Structure 1
Amino acid sequence: MNTTPVPQFRSLTKGMLVMLICLGLLFAALIGLNVFKNKMIAKFVDSMATEPAAVSATRVGYETWQPRIDAVGSLRAARGVDVTSEVTGLVRAVRFSSGEDLKAGAVLIELNDDTDAAQLQSYKAAAELAQTVYRRDAAQYQINAIARAVLDADAADLKIKKAQVVQQQALVDKKTIRAPFAGRVGIATINPGQYLKPGDPIVTLQAIEPLFADFSVPQDQVSKLAAGQTVTIRTSARPGESFMGRITSTSPKIDTATRTVQVEARIDNRDGKLLPGMYASIHIDAGAPHRYLTLPQTALTYNAYGTTLFVVQPGRQTNEQGKVLPVAQQVFVTPGPTRGDQVAIVKGISEGAQIVTSGQLKLSNGTPLIIENSALPGNDATPAPQEQ
């Protein structure tokens, strides 16, 4: 027999149903409020005017590119040496001045040779006596007054005495140190009274006309090089100036560590503007010219999807001053080779398009632009190193 009070159960079920309905209405109200809030935020953001960005821009156009090989190297004298002493001695006189241009054989310094010169005179006297004895004995041998062995001994003694004279004369000559070739001497640091030992440096001597440029190029560029080919040399020591030279030789061996080949070029340095040891940038024209759409390399930006740049497009909306500003549009491009500050664009833009060259980090599609070209990025095909 069922004894459960039915009216009480029905009252409990009705209360739970009312509670569920209230909770549902509450959740619906919260969801509606969030949706309304998001819509209002989006509407507010859309209504806000995007702040314009100041950028620099340039027009893209075609330029003729001469393919070339770029390298770096150093300048070397045609002949250069640090003059040293071969013998010991006390410096008697210094015969050159710092930075002086000397001819081959010019006296640099004289060492004290009094003792050696006296020894030379002694050897010469001994040689003259040996010569006299040989002549006398030769006459005696003709009349069979002496044996052949005596004459042979006299001849040998004469040769020994003459060799001693030659040896001593060479020692005396070494006491006068001369320029081995024509060139320019460096700073004089030797003084009279100074004692020199063999190997002590005296002064550097450099033949600075002509000079040679030593540099390396990758092995895949070797086929584009030939003896007599013109090269252009630039150095930071002479900003804005170019010097011409010609390739004289190419090493017959590839460096297995770097896979490059050593190249030598001769440079005319009659005006003496270049000095041995200078760092140099070398440029070699190789191949037929090409025409490329050209931009400064600063115009490109890179991301995981490729290479992009921003094109300046006409705007549609007016700002607070009632002026219509141009806007940025991001496009993907295919870059080509580079030269100096420039890059070639193979695909993605057309001639005459206005491209943003600086200030891209703050841009997105549709950003209003203020073109400010008072400070443009570098766009030099052959930039030279500058020392500040």
Structure 2
Amino acid sequence: MSTNEIRVSSDDGTAKRLRRLRIAGVIAVLLAVGVYAEGVSSRIHTDHSLSTWSNAQAVPSVRVLLPVAETGGASFDLPGRLEAHDDASIHARVSGYMKAWYVDIGAKVKQGQKLATIDTPELDQQLAQAQADLAREKADLALAASTSGRWSAMLKQDSVSQQAADEKSSELAVKRADYAAGEANVRRLQALESFRTLTAPFDGIVTARHADIGALVSAGDTGGPELFSVASTAQLRLYVRLPQDYAGRIAPGMHVRFDVPERAGQSFGATVVSSNDDVDAQSGTLLVQLSADNHDGALIPGEYAQVHFVLPAAAGAVRVPASALLFRGSHPQLAVVDSNGHVALRDIVIGTDYGTALDIASGVQHGDRVIDNPPDSIVAGEAVKIVETKDVANGSQRHA
């Protein structure tokens, strides 16, 4: 082989090596660029994921309540007292001595039934004297009438003067007045005589007797104990002090249930009759009067009762737990999640406060998503994430 051929062959080998080196270099550059691009892409993706996670963590998670229209109203117990429908303290209208009594405490009496008799000797003598005076005045009136008639006849014959006849006529008028006064006095004393017998003013039970035979009785002595006390117990009055918050929801005809300590497990019914429409400034309550049937005599006047009220719900009210309430400024508020997932703060009017729950008269309505236990930092327009929804009506929960 010649020298020229050997040189050409050597040049071809060098060229091939250089070509391979260039290709290897290009591949290395491409690999480096690929590795760099992958690193940049991974970093961008990681940064985006981190930003997305951070933004998600920044949105508060809340639990919401779905209030419903309230239909049950308030249910609560209040103390009350039972009193007789009618309770009469019977005192003497005439003075004298107790002659006899015919009924004792616990006796059932009818209207007009005799309770006792009072011996009235002084009154008897006064009546006898009045009747005697009336008889004398009757005789004087008859004589005055006869005299006046005769003088009137003589006046027609000009036997007497007009002055004398007029005097006799005046005397007749005086006698007539005296007789009328005497009649009135007799009737007065006869009326007092009728009070010697004490009678029951209505059907009822004798609840007190302070009448003893031979005891001195003074007319009109209301400072001392009554001679008898009679109570009508077929119907009883039940008095309850009702808080002012419920005053507008009590109406005549409303029915309630109550029980008394000595009849455990037994419940009685009563009906609202009226209230005094006057809130006591110290207690913030008004007096409500109810009527309870007691024809079987199971209840006793004066005893304590526990009265169970179930009031109708306020019109348009919805109920939410007290934990949802916000106090900011001058009005209580509720935080509501709108359709876009943002917070809206609603001023509300509380209808009835039950302690752990509230009837809201206005501000929210059925279907609003009310945030339960809202954080103090919550503001209007803030985006929130609902993680749980609770139905106030039945307490069921569902997760978002």
* 2-structure distance, mates of 1:80, 1:248: 18
Amino acid at match of 2:126: Q
Under a length normalisation based on structure 1, what TM-score does the superposition of the two structures give? 0.55
* 2-structure distance, mates of 1:350, 1:157: 90
Under a length normalisation based on structure 2, what TM-score does the superposition of the two structures give? 0.54
* 1-structure distance, mates of 2:147, 2:241: 74
Partner of 2:102: 95
Q: Per-residue displacement from partner, 1:243-281 (whole Å, max 9, x unpaired)?
A: 111100011211111111110000011101111111011
Which of structures 1 and 2 has the bigger CA Rg?
2
Is 1:174 aligned to residue 174 of structure 2?
no
Partner of 2:186: 165
Amino acid at match of 2:246: Q
* 1-structure distance, mates of 2:100, 2:130: 26
* 1-structure distance, mates of 2:247, 2:76: 10
Which 10-residue stretch deviates more, 100-109 or 114-123? 114-123
* 2-structure distance, mates of 1:173, 1:227: 42
Partner of 2:298: 273
How far is the alpha carbon of 1:288 from its aligned partner? Answer: 5.4
Q: Per-residue displacement from partner, 1:128-156 (whole Å, max 9, x unpaired)?
A: 33123323422432333551211122012
Structure-2 change in CA distance of 1:70 and 1:159 (3 Å): same
Is 1:226 aligned to residue 247 of structure 2?
no
Indicate the SS of the match to 2:263.
coil
Amino acid at match of 2:82: L
> In proportion to residue count, which structure has more helix?
2
* 2-structure distance, mates of 1:168, 1:226: 50
Contact 2:235–2:295 (Cα < 8 Å) also in 1? yes
Contact 1:68–1:287 (Cα < 8 Å) also in 2? no
How far is the alpha carbon of 1:76 from its aligned partner? Answer: 1.0
* 2-structure distance, mates of 1:350, 1:233: 30
Indicate the SS of the match to 1:186.
strand
Indicate the SS of the match to 2:287.
strand
Q: Per-residue displacement from partner, 1:360-380 (whole Å, max 9, x unpaired)?
A: xxxxxxxxxxxxxxxxxxxxx
Q: Per-residue displacement from partner, 1:19-62 (whole Å, max 9, x unpaired)?
A: xxxxxxxxxxxxxxxxxxxxxxxxxxxxxxxxxxxxxxxxxxxx
How far is the alpha carbon of 1:96 from its aligned partner? Answer: 1.3
Matches within 5 A, 1:250-289: 250-287=275-312
Q: Percent identity?
A: 24
* 1-structure distance, mates of 2:258, 2:391: 30
How far is the alpha carbon of 1:225 from its aligned partner? Answer: 0.6
Indicate the SS of the match to 2:151.
coil
Partner of 2:386: none
* 1-structure distance, mates of 2:249, 2:395: 32
How far is the alpha carbon of 1:337 from its aligned partner? Answer: 5.6
Partner of 1:70: 77
Gaps of 5+ in 1: 1-63, 293-334, 339-344, 352-388
Contact 2:208–2:230 (Cα < 8 Å) also in 1? no
Matches within 5 A, 1:191-270: 191-197=212-218, 198-199=221-222, 200=224, 201-270=226-295
Amino acid at match of 2:94: V
Which 10-residue stretch deviates more, 105-114 or 247-256? 105-114
Contact 2:96–2:121 (Cα < 8 Å) also in 1? no
Matches within 5 A, 1:1-388: 67-144=74-151, 147-197=168-218, 198-199=221-222, 200=224, 201-287=226-312, 336=356
How far is the alpha carbon of 1:159 from its aligned partner? Answer: 2.1
Aligned length: 239
* 1-structure distance, mates of 2:293, 2:170: 65
The RMSD of aligned alpha carbons is: 3.1
* 1-structure distance, mates of 2:283, 2:73: 26
Indicate the SS of the match to 1:280.
strand
Q: Per-residue displacement from partner, 1:155-212 (whole Å, max 9, x unpaired)?
A: 1211221222123223322322222222100254432112223234212211011101
Contact 2:242–2:288 (Cα < 8 Å) also in 1? yes
Contact 2:94–2:120 (Cα < 8 Å) also in 1? no
Which 10-residue stretch deviates more, 77-86 or 135-144? 135-144
* 1-structure distance, mates of 2:145, 2:95: 42
* 1-structure distance, mates of 2:129, 2:276: 54
Q: Per-residue displacement from partner, 1:202-257 (whole Å, max 9, x unpaired)?
A: 12211011101011111110121110000112110221111111100011211111
Indicate the SS of the match to 1:125.
helix
* 1-structure distance, mates of 2:119, 2:252: 49
Amino acid at match of 1:125: A
Gaps of 5+ in 2: 1-70, 153-164, 320-354, 359-389
